A and B are shown apart, each in its own frame.
Chain A
């Protein structure tokens, strides 16, 4: 059984901070299919459309029939550990700093033999195991071999924690505590074991409902933060930027307008100021310090979460300008992801369907409860997932968008939308 993680001692500011390095990230293009699935929490392998053979490592042609139509299909991951080793030497700096490192060879029930990182709770070979795909620090999918049945404290495994962003004993910032979503996020992070949760509030004099109860939690501290004000963002970064391990940007401005329903650009600008430029200001102020702490011990900086919207994928005309601002934020988050990758910090994009709040009042159910969204964010941090489609509506949109962006666009134009 994994020894539960202990609260790390206070950092000695005199000692140098270990610089982040990444595990090997080079992959062939065809191998990135594994990453595409793992980014959304799935373990998929190539399965030949012609003969049904499941194969690994990824190939350009089927190992059995040479077919070239090789869709990625979900796997149960069941298999048998047939060999193992514990590395005491590595050619790579990342692993050298983390030795010893346990590896196994697993014969999957689906056929292929895979090399995988071995979770500490897997017993000696031969043993029944379960293989899953995770994103490593380089953002690349790797296979991890777990014990067949869950045991206590599994998430605290030293090797696994290098691939996840578990909030336990970490310090988090939630950028807007005034909304039900923000408060649910802060509570969920506290429940997940976060050491400190800083919660931003713009216009603190307004005393938004629920904030007092939230602030009564010993882990929670309210701080002024207005994403439309560069100085406010910079001041907060100067105060806590060097300590934030997980940043959750949930601040948003949302009005239900298309183009014709609202003359002028003031609403659209206000949405862009928070949803797009707010993200840009945050990234410029908090990004550098987080990047410097990508390998800062047991509780290093690990993740940046953007609460976007499923409307970022395709414009929902009834909320047209909001959709556009979220699409802009989505695009910027891809840039942020590329820049944070070098430090091993994961950028997680959450695409919720309509949230059950006043701005989606007229939309029909199902609508996403703020606590459900918060749960999904914590689950993504724990599982190391990078794209999250939260709620039934979002799942369905994702499927429709994945199948045909054009068909979805036309459906939305015709009003059969969310």
Chain B
């Protein structure tokens, strides 16, 4: 698929100010608190005033009964452009896309993209129980396993269909845990051995403890603005080479073995003018390792079904030949609700703008960020990806 006629490039758009509000396993604060910390950090780090922010994009699962609208009165903001993006793990890429077009068209000049969620002791159960109409009608009454059960099905089928082994998933989890050891905000930094991974307590077979993200509280944020403005403000920033999103791809597949990236990846690379071989690191959505393998395949790094073999042939540390989830990913940092959909994008920005908090990928110039979200019934519906590049200072 070639770039569609009239689909404009993202020239002169800057992505800047990667912000992570340090995560906590549990929090007695509301999601509003976490989003406020993210916005405050964006202002503090950019030197902008609250009044300068005229566009806001918000992603959060636990704002109810509020939406982005209520949040504006909560924060005393009067933006001329506002978006609420309920797309879970794809919300980072989608927020970037929406915000970039808003700035490009002049509908907003500085857009704060915020994602965050709290995590009370019992809030994850509530989120899972009422996640969607299909989940409430046709999934939750079946054992109430939440996403663990859904990904257990996908993992079971993937392993049988393509010969992937638990050791392959384990290799990814161990590499990410090593990456997390230098990342100060990761909640799980204790080194993990393959034996510990393989023999961890079962959660939803074939998944065991270290295959599953740990829910937590946290927030992420970044700014989208014109490159010129970013330079005036002295903000290190990245450029957008290309982006895609897709929802409910391949509905005819009886069980998910691929995501929307496979539909749109050629367009992504064509718009960016680069190929998979030019990518210096990948930030993949990793709530469970099987979905990382699907992204490696669907984003064109190897053919469908060859993900496990790819894992066996490559090393995934920041110093490896295929740096992956360089802050440790959600599997080591934690999954702070919708902030999980921002984590990879924010880390990519840090890698491309010389602001790393942990280990840096040497000479990283182009990063690929991939998002995946919303197990509405039996599969994740939202997918997105973006290629970002280091911008000249």
Contact = CB atoms under 8 A, between A and B. Distances in A.
Contact of B142 (A28, A83, A86, A115): A115
Given A84-B156, A86-B205, A115 B255 contact: no
B378 A85 contact: no
Nearest to B141: A24
Contact of B134 (A26, A57, A142): A57
B265 to A, nearest CB: 25
Nearest to B378: A113
A58 B137 CA distance: 8
Given A57-B138, A115-B378, A125-B156, A85 B254 contact: no
A125 B139 CA distance: 19
Interface in A79-117: 82-92, 94-95, 101, 103, 105, 107, 113-117
B144 A92 contact: yes
B204 A89 contact: yes
Contacts of A142: 141-142
Contact of A117 (B128, B142, B202): B142
Contact of A113 (B124, B144, B160, B255): B255
A140 B141 CA distance: 9
30 contacts: A24-B140, A26-B129, A26-B136, A28-B136, A28-B137, A31-B137, A57-B134, A63-B251, A83-B156, A84-B156, A85-B205, A85-B207, A87-B143, A87-B149, A89-B145, A90-B143, A90-B144, A91-B124, A91-B125, A91-B146, A95-B143, A95-B145, A101-B143, A103-B149, A105-B255, A113-B255, A115-B153, A116-B142, A117-B142, A125-B160
Contacts of B124: 91
Contacts of B157: 82-83, 105, 125
B141 A23 contact: yes
A401 interface: no
Contacts of B146: 91
Interface in A17-62: 23-28, 31, 56-58
B85 interface: no
A136 B124 CA distance: 24
Nearest to A31: B137
A140 to B, nearest CB: 7
Nearest to B152: A85
B156 A85 contact: yes
A26 B145 CA distance: 16
A27 B136 contact: yes
Contacts of A113: 254-255, 378
A140 B140 CA distance: 12
Given A24-B136, A116-B142, A126-B160, 17 more contacts: A23-B141, A24-B141, A25-B141, A27-B137, A31-B137, A56-B138, A83-B153, A83-B156, A85-B145, A87-B204, A89-B204, A91-B128, A92-B144, A101-B143, A105-B378, A107-B255, A114-B138
B122 to A, nearest CB: 9
Contacts of B74: none
A104 to B, nearest CB: 8
A80 to B, nearest CB: 9
A85 B204 contact: yes
B193 interface: no
A89 B203 contact: yes
Contact of A136 (B141, B255, B377): B141
- What 9 pairs between A and B have smallest CB-CB spacing? A92-B144, A85-B152, A31-B137, A57-B138, A83-B153, A83-B157, A88-B202, A107-B254, A91-B125
Interface residues of A, number: 39
B156 A88 contact: no
Given A57-B137, A58-B137, A82-B157, A91 B145 contact: yes
A112 B309 CA distance: 32
Interface in B123-181: 124-125, 128-130, 133-134, 136-146, 148-149, 152-154, 156-157, 160
B312 interface: no
Contact of B153 (A24, A28, A56, A105): A105
Contacts of B140: 24, 92
Contacts of A27: 136-137, 141
Q: Most B CB atoms within 10 A — which of A84, A136, A138?
A: A84
Contacts of A92: 125, 129, 140, 143-144
A86 B154 contact: no
A90 B139 CA distance: 12
User: Would you call the interface of chain B mostly helix, strand, loop, or mixed?
Assistant: mixed
A28 B133 CA distance: 7
B203 A88 contact: yes
B201 interface: yes
Contacts of A23: 141, 144
Contacts of A31: 137-138
Nearest to B205: A86
Contacts of B160: 125-126
Interface string B204-220: 11110000000000000
A140 B152 CA distance: 25
A113 B157 CA distance: 13
A258 B145 CA distance: 57
B158 to A, nearest CB: 9
Contact of B145 (A87, A116, A117): A87
B14 to A, nearest CB: 41
A103 B138 contact: no
A31 B139 CA distance: 12
Nearest to B202: A88
B166 to A, nearest CB: 14
B141 A88 contact: no
A24 B144 contact: yes
Contacts of A95: 143-145
Interface string B329-357: 00000000000000000000000000000
Nearest to B136: A26
Nearest to B208: A88
A160 B124 CA distance: 28
Given A91-B146, A92-B144, A113-B378, A83 B203 contact: no
Nearest to A114: B138
A152 to B, nearest CB: 26
A101 B202 CA distance: 12
B316 to A, nearest CB: 26
B378 A24 contact: no
A85 B149 contact: yes
A136 B160 CA distance: 31
A25 B144 CA distance: 11
Nearest to B146: A91
Interface in A292-313: none
A88 to B, nearest CB: 4
Contacts of A85: 145, 149, 152-153, 156, 204-207
Contacts of B139: 115
Q: Most B CB atoms within 10 A — which of A58, A82, A140?
A: A82
Contact of A91 (B138, B144, B201, B254): B144
A116 B142 CA distance: 7
Q: Most A CB atoms within 10 A — which of B129, B203, B204?
A: B204
Contacts of B136: 24, 26-28
B64 to A, nearest CB: 16
B141 A103 contact: no
Contacts of A82: 157, 254-255
